[in-house]
Amino acid sequence: MTVPLRSARLEVEDALAANELFQRNGWSDGLPIVPPTESRVADCLTSANIAPDEILGVESVRRLAVSAEKVAINAVMAGCLPAYFPVVAAAVQAMCEAPFLLHGATSSTGGSAPFMVVNGPIRRELGMNATHNVLGNGNRANATIGRALRLVLVNVLGCVPGGLDRSTLGHPGKFSFCIAEDEEDSPWTPLAEERGVPAGASAVTVMACAPPRQVMNEWTTNPEDILETFAADMRANMLAYSVWPGNYALVIPKQLRDPIAAAGWQKRDVRDYVWRAARVQRSEWRGVGKAMLAARGEEKQEFAALATPDDLLVVAAGGPAGGFGAVVPPWFGSKSRAVTRAIGLCVTC
């Protein structure tokens, strides 16, 4: 099928020349790109059955429309295979929904990145990684799908460091931050299903996040003790970074997940415990060099990391060995909310 494209054509000698051109023009994230030829872009669009001129979303502050063609171009640049494009398209749609606060999340000095969790059959179809080194390198689908979002932000929305992107530090997740949930080796309900997507459907959840924080507890099998380690890190994040409540994500690998599940705990029990445990008092700011904040109100005033238990995203993922887990904090409390979007399916139609 021939897909008519509207983007400008650029003639170059070879792939190396294309890369040098893109680097000179600031159209990359600093890494080499795959030249987005017309046929490669068309293959992506055909894979998702999306017309080039379909608008996947609008960045509401500057009223910038994000077309499927432009997203496909950046997906090719990121190294995505055509089969990956439905995930990229759904993630872009999710980021453009109002609760995500796309403009704020991409222009803040806080330097957030979109954290993506993929659920459903498409994980297996694409060979996505949900286990060993899940937050790191080594899987083509994870790496390039996440990278495609960054390139869309740079090239379609102008989120260039020092320009619209005002990050003081940023973090490595701004290259790529995409994982799959380990549904096969977990007794828990998948994240997307918990958030309203029908069982058996594929979906992506996108959350604007600060850098992930690794925790470790290999000295207990008690669910409360394991989760207290996660809650302690959330409390530390509240004191050292941002006290405001919002979506946190916990990535819980098998060695920590199994004893929690063996005790009969489901994800809702995890959320309930952490909601109660992840709280600090104003007076605690004194211990982290923020005495002026402690003095601005009642020192016993309590702040919770989560406004409700449902604000916590619990994700089963990571390698089978090692008592490690991760806390993924929100970028700016509840100003930006996690959004879940079905892939190739309208759940409200």
Taken as a whole, the chain contains a residue count of 349
313 exposed, middle or buried (CB, 10 Å; 0-12, 13-18, 19+)? buried
The residues with which 252 forms a beta bridge, in sequence order, are 316
CB 105 within 8 A of CB 342: no
Amino acid of residue 196: G
Per-residue pLDDT, averaged over 264-280, amounts to: 98
pLDDT band at 1 (very low <50, low <70, confident <90, very high): very low
The residues with which 330 forms a beta bridge, in sequence order, are 209
Q: Give the integer Cα–Cα distance in Å for 62 and 65.
A: 9
pLDDT above 50 (res 52)? yes
Cβ count near 12 (within 10 Å): 13
342 φ, ψ (degrees, to nearest 5): -65, 150
pLDDT band at 346 (very low <50, low <70, confident <90, very high): low
pTM of the full predicted structure?
0.95
pLDDT digit string, tens, across residues 300-327:
999 999 999 999 999 999 999 999 999 9
Spell out a b/e string for 255-293, using b for 16 or more CB atoms within 10 Å of the CB, else e: bbbbbbbeeebebebbbbbbbebbbbebebbeeeebeee
Ramachandran category for residue 318: left, alpha or beta (phi over 0 → left; psi -120 to 50 → alpha): left
Residue 168 token pair: 């003081």
The pLDDT score that the predictor gives to residue 344 is 86
pLDDT digit string, tens, across residues 208-224:
999 999 999 999 999 99
Cβ count near 302 (within 10 Å): 9
Reduced to 3 states, what is the DSSP secondary structure of residue 245? coil
pLDDT digit string, tens, across residues 129-185:
999 999 999 999 999 999 999 999 999 999 999 999 999 999 999 999 999 999 999
Q: Give the integer Cα–Cα distance in Å for 253 and 132.
A: 9
Ramachandran category for residue 26: left, alpha or beta (phi over 0 → left; psi -120 to 50 → alpha): left
Residue 292 token pair: 């002026």
pLDDT digit string, tens, across residues 63-80:
999 999 999 999 999 999
Q: Give the integer Cα–Cα distance in Å for 249 and 234.
A: 10
pLDDT band at 349 (very low <50, low <70, confident <90, very high): very low
pLDDT digit string, tens, across residues 93-137:
999 999 999 999 999 998 899 999 999 999 999 999 999 999 999
CA 273 to chain CA centroid, nearest Å: 24
The pLDDT score that the predictor gives to residue 305 is 98
Q: Give the integer Cα–Cα distance in Å for 171 and 110.
A: 10
- The DSSP result for 30-81, as a single string, is SS------HHHHHHHHHHHT--TT-EEEEETTTTEEEEHHHHHHHHHHHT--
CB 131 within 8 A of CB 124: no
pLDDT band at 4 (very low <50, low <70, confident <90, very high): confident
Reduced to 3 states, what is the DSSP secondary structure of residue 137? coil
Ranges 12-16, 275-279, 284-288, 342-346: which has the least confidence: 342-346
The pLDDT score that the predictor gives to residue 2 is 57
